Structure 1
Amino acid sequence: MASITDKKTIFFVTSPRSPDKLINEIRTLVENFEGEKWNEKTQKDFYLHLSKQDFFKGSTTGDLAFKARDRINRAPKALGFVDLSPVIKLTNAGKLFLTGKRSEEVFLRQLIKFQLHSPYHTDKNDAFRVKPYLELMRLVYELGGLSKHEIGLFVIGLTSYKKYDDVKSRILDFRKEKSGLRKRKVSYKQFIAEEFEKELSRLFAEKIKGGEIFIRQNKKQSLGKFIRAKKSNHLDYSDASIRYLRMTGLFSMNPRSSKVYVLEERKKDVEFILENTPRDIFKYKNEDDYKTQLFAATEPKLFVDDKERIISKILRKSNEFNTGELEIKTTEELKDIYKSILQKSLTELVENEQSKLKDYEDFDDVDEVFSSITNREAVDPSLFFEWNVWRAFSMLDDGDIQGNFKVDDDGVPLYTAPANTPDIVCKYKDFDTIVEVTLSSGQKQYEMEGEPVARHYGNYRKETQKDVVFGIFIAPKLNDAAVAHYYALYRINIEHYGGKAKIIPLSLDDLKTLLKNAYQSKKRPKAADIKTLFVHLSDLALSTSSEKEWRQKISETVQGAFIQ
């Protein structure tokens, strides 16, 4: 139980940061600890058990019980997938989430039901009366989308649904001000900084006036540090809220503007939710009463729970079926048909995207997305880095370039590649290349990516039995230990990795240089040119005296690659 009494803002669930991790983490909890009390011992044991799973990303140092609570007490408990009192138990909603075919529908229902206040988040003043995700959906729908900054600036103050019109008005005023920046010769960065200072000063006026501007990490009073800390927190909530909305399958995002919007095909679904879901919070008698409605797996009803509405969707998207043959199908069968139609459309969309990339039509756009990621402007930067590297290789190569990330119905990336699979696989006639990417840096890069990248490389060689396989490791900044690791792997015959591992470390600048050279070349590179380059870059590990010299030679070679 947490208190939100006297808080000035709402919050969105931030742990796990990427909601696609929920299923694996909840399954690990209930399969190993269901029926036990959720106390410090089980929390530590759970976290240690979790850390041994292939999908785990995190640290095993520090307060492990706290880290376990951070992962389970937030989204899994708050959204009603698990009950932690009196003992650990999977709820009906949790069971359907883990075992059902349509986890996104279950997730959507639980998001809609999340409310402030509740027995999980108590408010003695009864000031909080809002379903945060429901009102966020409403704003996204009515305003044609919301940016990360708009959510962090204004939606975060929507503590009651009765404040909705005021928040909406503030966003419209903000957009009007933003539209005149060029005329006033004010940069967007400066404008956003000023808006956050103004809005946060308004929201926390009482605290500031009373001198209550301490921040957890620093006991010294400083208004500037207080504003910066609150801004960072609000943007974290904003980032997470967009990720969670997108997991419902109803929303997508513009990777350049970080603006979340309703998918055109799903507008009816959103309209149904907004028209049929009560805006006021559920009036519970006690915690058990609240849990009963929260844990219900099939409530509230969704647009696609009605056969006639699904049939209408199918007939609008495809001429392969007639009304008669669809009416004899069950609701679940109709949902399967609709999903297959959307998947077919998505496949065509991705193929068209790759066709444009191979013609270098999106060269400037790829470069722009890389810039937004390195400038820390993107929502879910790791995901979009993986996607944009796939776009870069699709542009650069003439092979079959497959990204293992999942995309939404608009072809925008939704989740990163699952554990134990390469991020990207490039297939050619006489060789393959697996590509692994990361935004991590320093020692963390080596710890997180050193062995897994080599393992993915070795597994791929064993599974495909390909004679020639290259590994490409890409990061904005390469860690010396990671480079040394890959340098050694090519000089030592290790059976576990399929022999000598040809894993080539490239910085983001290296990749951008290759793209630029290929774009400006009179003759675009073909598979044979790619292979020649990769053979040379990997063989440099044998002709250089150290990993530092190897890294330097790679960059020097890249500078002149594909120039004709």
Structure 2
Amino acid sequence: MRIWEGLKLFAESPFNGNLRGDNEERFQTLLNHAGLVNSTGAAEDTSSYARKWRLMFGRFGFIYPQVKKKDGNQEDLGPLDLITPFGETFLKADTYPAQQECFLRSLSLEQTKVSGNLGFFSPLRWILAMMLELEKRTGTSEISRIEFSLWGHTTDPSYDIDDVVDHIIDLRERRKKATAKRRFDAEEIKKRGQDYSKKSDNFTDYSDMNMRYLRISGIVQRKGRGLIIVPAKHFLAEKLAKTTLSRRPVMDVYKELCHGASLPMDDLGTAKALLLDTEAQLKKNHVYYDLSDRPVSTVPEINAARLYLEELWQKTDETIYAAKQPEQWQEISDYMTLLIKGGGKKIDDSDEDKGIEVPKDETPAYLEWVLWRAALAFGNLVNHPSDMRGFRLDSDFLPVSAAGGGRGDLYCEYDKFTILTEVTMSRGSRQESMEGEPVRRHVSDAVLKYGKNNIPVYGLFIAIKIDTNTAETFRHGIWYAKDDVKQRLDILPLTLAQFQKCFIALFQSNETAKHEKIKELIETCEAQRDLMEAPAWKKYIEQAVGKTILK
């Protein structure tokens, strides 16, 4: 989710407080240029993304939503589409745990209507109650994708929680015995649809999106293609779980939403209990921490200490995650295949619950992420996994957004050299104009930085397709640094398919110094660049990929 980047863009734009009419199309243009959306350019798609983002901002309370006449006056809430006090708080949240807490405040409010005018509920609180009841009966809070689809996001507090959990457990037991899982799921969807008042397509069409929204709260995380309560947040989940409906006036809910809804940790006693629980979890997992120099007397101080520990835990888990990447090289390659296709899913033929996905509107972030995972799989790095990347991760180690400007995408530091990897989803002549200058500048900066310790720097530029003009720019590799110091930079342009070919070959050959082979490929191709024009150099690179890696 790139909501923070989108809201920051909106806050700094002239459309803050004026996102209607023609400004919808203008804001969508900004989103496009920032790489936050990839609209088709069709006539019917000139402002649809902008409206979706506006709706999302309002739903989280980051901008003042539109008040319906039956619910009150807009003036009593705040200027339509203007950044709210809570929106300002969210923009000041400079760590992912702090941003997750903002999402949690919004998602904990009862603002989803229950059919039949019974009131409102919070889907997050309802799902947590369901997962905790599942845990009580089965020993785990895990809920699979098909269980969530049929009995999670398509139920609400008008259902009896015990009855819902009965259905989930029954579904789970029968599915275990089924030999053809996909056929079983299709039949269950059809059967459940007979007792469901809305379209049966809702079961699966929106389940992935709704799970994604729940995950940004930080209180649940991915388990397979389903969900499980984050161990460190279990105590908080118990406090938040709720099966009852709310009948509060909509205006009261909006006012709380736009100023920041309260959470259990706003109470001193609960804040202390949550901090102690987080400390206990870190000790249990042998994560060292030191709070001796941090004040922990007030609620803000205690919560700040807890967020610090959560960030520390995430960084420790990232090291563990990095160590697992060599054994996951085939999955990494599968993600590359999906990116080459422009996104999509790869699902197990026998079981819908098993598979991987690259959301089509998040391909830039996933491209950086998969190249980061590939570098981790190669191993031999001397810098921490978190120091390599500029993009942010969620608690499942999936990308939240692409790296910001001002630095390269991936800095892979080895004992004797550094490889700076830059990636892009852009193609055609636009590719050179977008990437030619910043890529050379970033590599130049790295050459100056690492050159102080006599560490050579190699540039690796990876795109789905390499435009010949881009190849020509990097073939010359000329850059003038400060005081007109001329540099000849080594930047090798590769298609993602070419890199994937190298990646697979290196793992199938059991090569131990995989990073050295990539360096050798760069040097081999750079040695020939002055002997040919860009079209010929591109062909040479294609041939060198096979010869250098496979020899």
Is TM more than 0.5 here? yes
C-alpha deviation, 1:235, in angstroms: 4.1
> Does residue 505 of the first structure (1) align with residue 486 of the second (2)?
no
> 1:290-311: CA deviations, max 9, x gaps?
4223324142434786342144
The 1-side partners of 2:29 and 2:291 are apart by 54
> Does residue 404 of the first structure (1) align with residue 407 of the second (2)?
no
The TM-score, its normalising length taken from structure 1, stands at 0.73
| Cα distance change of structure 1 residues 562 and 42 upon mapping to structure 2, 3 Å threshold | closer
Q: Choose from 514, 518, 525 the match for 2:506.
A: 518
What's 1:271 paired with? 238
| Cα distance change of structure 1 residues 395 and 278 upon mapping to structure 2, 3 Å threshold | closer
1:301-380 to structure 2, matched below 5 A, reads 301-302=264-265, 306-313=270-277, 315-316=279-280, 317=282, 329-357=297-325, 360-363=326-329, 366=332, 375=346, 377-380=355-358
The 2-side partners of 1:147 and 1:264 are apart by 17
| Cα distance change of structure 1 residues 304 and 354 upon mapping to structure 2, 3 Å threshold | farther
Is the 8 Å Cα contact of residues 430 and 468 (structure 1) preserved in structure 2? no
What's 2:484 paired with? none
What's 1:211 paired with? none
The 2-side partners of 1:94 and 1:281 are apart by 24
Structure 1 window deviating more from structure 2 (36-45 vs 536-545): it is 536-545
> Does residue 24 of the first structure (1) align with residue 5 of the second (2)?
yes
The residue identity in structure 1 corresponding to 2:474 is Y
> 1:162-219: CA deviations, max 9, x gaps?
25444433333332232123xx3x2x444444444444465368x8xxxxxxxxxxxx
Specify the SS of the correspondent of 1:536.
helix
> Does residue 97 of the first structure (1) align with residue 64 of the second (2)?
no
> 1:53-107: CA deviations, max 9, x gaps?
475654666354443222102x111222211444332223222222245232221
The 2-side partners of 1:142 and 1:446 are apart by 54
Aligned residues: 490
| Cα distance change of structure 1 residues 25 and 137 upon mapping to structure 2, 3 Å threshold | same
C-alpha deviation, 1:432, in angstroms: 3.1
C-alpha deviation, 1:536, in angstroms: 2.2
> Does residue 283 of the first structure (1) align with residue 274 of the second (2)?
no
What's 1:472 paired with? 461
The 2-side partners of 1:313 and 1:53 are apart by 40
The residue identity in structure 2 corresponding to 1:375 is K
The 2-side partners of 1:136 and 1:157 are apart by 10
What's 1:137 paired with? 128
| Cα distance change of structure 1 residues 337 and 550 upon mapping to structure 2, 3 Å threshold | same
> 1:386-412: CA deviations, max 9, x gaps?
434322222225234623333345x62
Specify the SS of the correspondent of 2:227.
strand
Structure 1 window deviating more from structure 2 (374-383 vs 98-107): it is 374-383
Identity of aligned residues (%): 17
> 1:456-491: CA deviations, max 9, x gaps?
4223123223564322315xxx34xx3434323234
Specify the SS of the correspondent of 2:206.
helix
> Does residue 533 of the first structure (1) align with residue 526 of the second (2)?
no
Root mean square deviation, CA, Å? 4.0
The residue identity in structure 2 corresponding to 1:517 is A
Specify the SS of the correspondent of 1:126.
coil
1:190-201 to structure 2, matched below 5 A, reads 190-200=183-193
What's 1:559 paired with? 546
What's 2:375 paired with? 393
Specify the SS of the correspondent of 2:513.
coil
The 2-side partners of 1:539 and 1:196 are apart by 60
Is the 8 Å Cα contact of residues 17 and 83 (structure 2) preserved in structure 1? no
The residue identity in structure 2 corresponding to 1:415 is V
What's 1:224 paired with? none
Q: Choose from 112, 117, 134 the match for 1:116.
A: 112
C-alpha deviation, 1:493, in angstroms: 5.6
Specify the SS of the correspondent of 2:106.
helix
What's 1:15 paired with? none
Specify the SS of the correspondent of 1:415.
strand
C-alpha deviation, 1:108, in angstroms: 0.3
> 1:502-531: CA deviations, max 9, x gaps?
2422334x4444334333446522554331
What's 2:220 paired with? 251
What's 2:403 paired with? 418
What's 1:238 paired with? 207
